[in-house]
């Protein structure tokens, strides 16, 4: 069985369309320039599942929001994204064709919905790693 890791990024405040605003532990995320930031793959692997949760002052989000995966500054399109349905707290997708990644690639997320009411949101990925026989240093 291969090891699986979960990575996540957060956003405090509104979700703005076509922005790379997700923070991987840095409160400075925001704007288009952040497409080059994000999580760096430490080993080859594949993205199996993506999830998103959000709220509006403790209530479910009243309008849908979509977020997609960005690798090395290039968006992977709607096939590799998750939809947070209207009137819900979370959405999840299992990718029929996992997204293959290589060591050193940078992962980030791009928003495709404007929702100024959202007060906080989290996006997460479940990644299966290929580390058998790889040097991790």
Question: The domain 4-130: what is its CATH number?
Answer: 2.60.120
For the ranges 16-20, 72-76, 131-135, the lowest mean pLDDT is seen at 131-135
Q: Share the mean pLDDT of the chain.
A: 84
Name the E strands within 13-131: 39-40, 44-55, 65-71, 74-75, 81-84, 90-101, 106-111, 120-130
32, pLDDT greater than 90: no
CB crowding 95-130: b at 16 or more within 10 Å, else e: beebbebebeebbbbbbbbebeebeebebbbbbbbb
Residue 36: pLDDT band (50, 70, 90) is: low
pLDDT of residue 56: 86
CA atoms within 13 A on the CB side of 115: 28
Domain boundaries, the chain: 4-130
């Amino acid at each position: 069985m291969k090891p699986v890791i979960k990575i996540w990024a957060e956003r405090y405040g509104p979700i703005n369309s076509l922005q790379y605003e997700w923070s991987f532990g840095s409160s400075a995320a925001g704007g288009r320039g952040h497409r080059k930031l994000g999580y760096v793959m430490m080993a080859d692997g594949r993205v199996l599942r993506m999830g998103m949760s959000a709220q509006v002052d403790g209530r479910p989000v009243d309008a849908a929001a979509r977020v997609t995966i960005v690798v090395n500054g290039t968006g992977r399109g709607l096939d590799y994204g998750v939809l947070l349905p209207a009137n819900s707290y979370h959405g999840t997708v299992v990718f029929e064709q996992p997204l293959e990644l290589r060591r050193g690639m940078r992962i980030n997320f791009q928003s495709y919905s404007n929702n100024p009411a959202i007060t906080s949101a989290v996006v997460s990925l479940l990644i299966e790693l290929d580390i058998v026989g790889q040097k991790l240093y």
